[in-house]
Copies of this chain bind each other. A is one copy, B any other.
Amino acid sequence: MSGHVIALSGGVGGAKLAHGLYLALGAGELTVIANTGDDFRHLGLHVSPDIDSIVYALAELSDPVRGWGRRDETWNFMEALCGLGGETWFALGDGDLAMHVERSRRLASGETLSGVTGAICGALGIHASILPMSEDAVRTRLRTDEGWLEFQDYFVRRRCEPEVREYAFEGAMQARMQPQALAALERADLRAVIVCPSNPFLSIDPILAVPGMRDAIVRCAAPVIAVTPLIGGRALKGPAAKIMQELGFEVGAGAVARHYADLIDLFVYDESDAPPTRAADVPVAAAHTLMNCTADRVNLARRLLALADERPTVHTP
């Protein structure tokens, strides 16, 4: 079966599955809608961490060990910046810096974030559409036991240590959905919408917070399938499990399924886990969700496409 596929993705974990889908599909069949709630200005540069993770994954430029940034990276800039007395809490590799400088230059000259991303994808030979959820600024902030923190302050500077009590997506109410993202969700040939194994609260919720996004997903012509970011009750990377606990959720795939209950048609849990109990009325299926190599990514993508092609539920708008 063919048709267009949309992935909703945050950073590293989501980007791996986006890469698998990219390899499993034909050229031009994938649109990735990326979280931009983590975007921030640093050293005067516009940094879009999740878009970058997705671009690097699809261009096969990701560092396989660190899990973020570019492979074969060097750190001369940071070393020199440290010598000049600059701010060094956020690590920017020498090659990675090209992305932030080029993006900032293009944005300053009046291009949109999607225009910049499209141009960069074109230069890197990526035959997929990577779109920010909105051209407008949405900024994830967290209320913690240390007060309100900007996302990167929490995530990088404070290494997710503060206890999260609440989170908010500043600017989301005023943000307009990226028009090509809306158009992609309205396609008649839509085959699947995949909610990638990203942090449901900090990576996927900001996307869903853009007015119109949730409705467009629920109304779309294809099955909506979410992949668990938790295996054995733990997140592979990042603070998803810690935050669930702090926010009073039961920590596990079932709670994630319930979190997505009014959005999705199928929830995919990891085959090493028992089927999630109390997953609301959401149908579930098992898959090998751990992605340690490219083959894992492609296999998971193929499994998800096969599940979508079975059209798991009567999709009720």
Contact = CB atoms under 8 A, between A and B. Distances in A.
B83 A98 contact: yes
A173 interface: no
Contacts of A84: 98-99, 102, 120, 123-124
Contacts of A99: 80, 84
Interface in A68-103: 70, 72-74, 76-81, 83-86, 93-99, 101-102
Contact of A94 (B72, B94, B120): B94
User: Chain B CB within 10 Å — which of A73, A79, A102 has the most?
Assistant: A102
Contacts of A97: 77, 80, 94, 97, 101
A314 interface: no
A104 interface: yes
A60 to B, nearest CB: 12
Interface in A44-74: 44-45, 70, 72-74
A119 B84 CA distance: 8
Interface string A155-189: 00000000000000000000000000000000000
A83 B44 contact: no
A74 B76 CA distance: 7
A274 interface: no
The size class of the interface chain A forms with chain B is 20 to 34
Contacts of A45: 101
Contact of A95 (B77, B85, B95, B108): B77
Contact of A77 (B86, B98, B120): B98
A122 interface: yes
A95 B76 contact: yes
Given A94-B94, A101-B44, A76 B73 contact: yes
Contacts of A120: 84-85
A43 interface: yes
A237 interface: no
Contact of A93 (B76, B119, B123): B76
Contact of A74 (B43, B74, B98, B104): B74
A105 interface: yes
Nearest to A88: B98
A129 to B, nearest CB: 17
5 contacts: A43-B105, A72-B76, A80-B95, A81-B102, A85-B120
Given A74-B94, A81-B98, A85-B122, 6 more contacts: A45-B101, A76-B76, A76-B93, A77-B101, A80-B95, A84-B99
